[in-house]
Structure 1
């Protein structure tokens, strides 16, 4: 029976409407859109740099057209001679990133071998290692531009400078961003940009305490969605802090909700909203924010702008968005929170990643320094010993006194040893010996020269003896 509807072709009749139409070009674009934008940008830059190197070496072929035997020395030479635009050296880790970029490019081009694993490119990798060692000798590789971690004093300063708190629209956004970083373990701009209003919900626990819970987590750096079973075991929560209402995350959330446009609080609306152009500061204003999402550049510069406006940057501190994440991990580590618990808050996938963010604080360095200096038990007894160092004029005399003390102790040790040896004749004490000839031999060995014999294992198994006899 023909069920085709009138006015439809056979091709249209065979479609159920459940499958979207997607051209090959659209499909390729769909795959590329899921790649990390920063990684894609960096890869393109490194490929263009390597192509420039090939052209200067009279090779205008595409990278994939080079045979591995030809490409191996080119890659090795490139990694050894490449420099920055000002002629200075790259950091060792950056050179490794260049090799990874070439690997990604060739993998997309379906190249026959792997730069990072293939035996054909063994010498290129060895040249990279040699270059990294040379740069390390020059003092490179110490990450001079890494961001500093926030401290409690920094956060208190930001509140005092009204860069944090409920004072202004910008301070509200800044505090919301910081709370989400610390309590939800959020990372880069992309995670904050994709956060929706319905992803964070206000709840109460069994004891009636209010808390915010991130019920929906979008794509993150470590959980991209490639593994459907890779989800957070515990939903992160942010509890109210009634001790200080001015710093209570739940109170600030309610304050922000009241200042958003009333018809712009549906679950799918953006969490971070753009600030109105007139920059209202009075709490009497009905709304402080627009009906549009905050831009990614504005979100990406939140920590930098707070540092500049508050004067923290003038103190030589390098603060970026990563500084807040470092603060969270460092503070939990200082408070002896187990790394396995911290992982559930920070969304890390292994303990080593958590440890990489943590370092010794000044207080820990101070305590460890005193532990290593204390050899007399003064630290445990709470004693403070006042000692003055010798001046340069009597430094030689002090050294001479020390040597005399060492000689005195050495002579005392020799006297004790001789007394022990002579004491061996005590076996004849209180004895009356008359007449006769006696020959006595005393073998006295010091404790240090005693020869220890190796123990031997004797086998007395009757079965083994019988088997040998047979």
Structure 2
């Protein structure tokens, strides 16, 4: 091997050439001296086959001169990042769990700690039945048997800050939150399956059944109400949403993005990007429908964080077509206008703060709108027109599922729009009054079930097929009658080549 004096860095080309020349079959098992000799390679130009795209792309990048890489004044230029600290590694491990989930864990831990403090403040006679460790140690440090006992008493005694009992669903969430907090320090613990914790699970099951019997079951949970089409018309007609000024256009984009792409809360809105690796692109033209549309490609969400567990899932992709009937309410047109009036800098944001003194070609500044402001947008809009009930940004997602459901769209197609992986989408679909009335009419025997849009399409296709088939049957029968009246002779000729 021809050695050079100045080549001290191993590149892709040099490795490939050296591997071929020296037939280094056992790559990766060099001795100390062999590895030093191997690094002192000559600067030979090597060719890379075009079919190896990865190597070709790498080798096409200009190689810097070895003297510039190893300058006496500046030192070597390293390929990888600066060495990280142990604290930075710890932060990466912590950030693997979503912030909202960690907050949920902390909530359960704080409630349990508050119960322990109150228990210690009570007379000694009240604490005789339970071990001292159950009210003095942290739940993350308890022995399994002590933890099981502590959870039994905690689940039977815990109350809300106002003195009322927790609903059954909240009690279960407390239990799950405590498990999450424990698993941060000991991942092997599973309160829901391990035999050690069977007694506390039975206490939880019993208390949940009791709360449900008292009217504090899952039905008592208050959910975000969807926004109907009529209520949306009110928002447009009263000019609460529109495009005639920067704040109104900003609110309108939040509303339309939430409706058409079924986004959650304020976090998914905040994670959108307008210019830098945007999730929403377009407009494009559908060659079949001859209509314009914008395309939303999900990168991360609540059910798809992009980690190891989500590798097998395909991110949702949703098309939002133009509104030809009402161009002023068209998401494609408004998206074009909004993007044109926003700053062109590559900022990790989609929504930007409106300018007070705006111009005809610049309505927004470079400052992104915060998560909290985005999260309160829908509530503020609905309050402005007097819409009652619980209205949040989650109402937009519920509206998406509800409108599609009430229109008779199949559940699979609804899930493709909302991104649900299971039947959890059913909790977002709200049954309308006309649907409940229809059920009553059917039970009275007054009317039949109204066919869905899919069933109607299939029915029309069946009718068309049966109509065509009936004509075919008539023709066949006439042919049969003719064949009986006037017999014909058929002759066949076969050409066989041997």
Q: Same fold (TM over 0.5)?
A: yes
In the alignment, which of 107, 119, 126 is matched to residue 183 of structure 2? 107
Equivalent of 1:131 in 182, 199, 207: 207
Distance 1:252 1:115, change over 3 A: same
Inter-CA distance 17–255: structure 2 relative to 1 (3 Å threshold): closer
Determine helix, strand or coil for the equivalent of 1:126.
helix
Secondary structure of the equivalent of 2:140?
helix
1:161, CA displacement in angstroms?
1.9
Distance 1:151 1:6, change over 3 A: closer
Contact residue 211 and residue 250 of structure 1 kept, 8 A? yes
- Change in Cα spacing, 1:184 to 1:51, as seen in structure 2 (3 Å) is same
Shift of 1:31: 2.1
Distance 1:117 1:75 in 2: 15
**Matches of 1:274 and 1:304, distance apart in 2:** 19
CA distance in 1, matches of 2:137, 2:99: 27
> Equivalent residues in 2 for 1:40-439 (5 A)?
40-58=102-120, 59-110=135-186, 113-141=189-217, 142-198=219-275, 199=278, 200-202=280-282, 203-207=284-288, 208-215=290-297, 217-226=298-307, 227=309, 229-232=311-314, 235-260=317-342, 264-266=343-345, 268=347, 270-277=349-356, 285-313=360-388, 317-350=389-422, 352-374=423-445, 379=447
Q: 1:268 to 1:205 in 2, by over 3 A?
A: farther
- Gap runs ≥5 in structure 2: 9-69, 121-134, 449-498
In structure 1, distance between residues paired with 2:246 and 2:432: 34
Aligned-partner Cα distance in 1 for 2:393–2:151: 35
**How many Å apart are 1:144 and its aligned residue?**
4.4
Q: How many residues align?
A: 362
Once the two structures are TM-superposed, the CA of residue 94 in structure 1 deviates from its matched residue by 1.1
Query: How far apart are the structure 2 equivalents of 1:6 and 1:257?
Result: 46
TM-score (norm 1): 0.71
Deviation (angstroms), 1:285: 4.0
8 Å CA contact retained: 1:211, 1:238: yes
Distance 1:240 1:84 in 2: 49
Deviation at 1:299, TM superposition (A): 0.5
Q: CA deviation digits over 1:179-225, x for unaligned, max 9?
A: 2122223223221111111422221222542111124x332000011
TM-score under structure 2 normalisation?
0.67
8 Å Cα contact 2:224-2:394 kept in structure 1: yes
Residue 170 (structure 1) shift: 2.6
Preserved contact between residue 64 and residue 111 of structure 1 (Cα < 8 Å): no
Determine the structure 2 residue equivalent to 1:426: none
Structure number with larger C-alpha Rg: 1
Give yes or no for the alignment of 1:26 onto 2:91.
Answer: no
Provide the alpha-carbon RMSD of the alignment.
2.5
Structure 2 distance, partners of 1:298, 1:185, is 19
Q: Which runs of 5+ in 1 are unaligned?
A: 381-470
1:197–1:270 CA contact under 8 A, matched in 2: yes
**130-139 or 143-152: bigger deviation:** 143-152
What secondary structure sits across from 2:367 in the alignment? strand
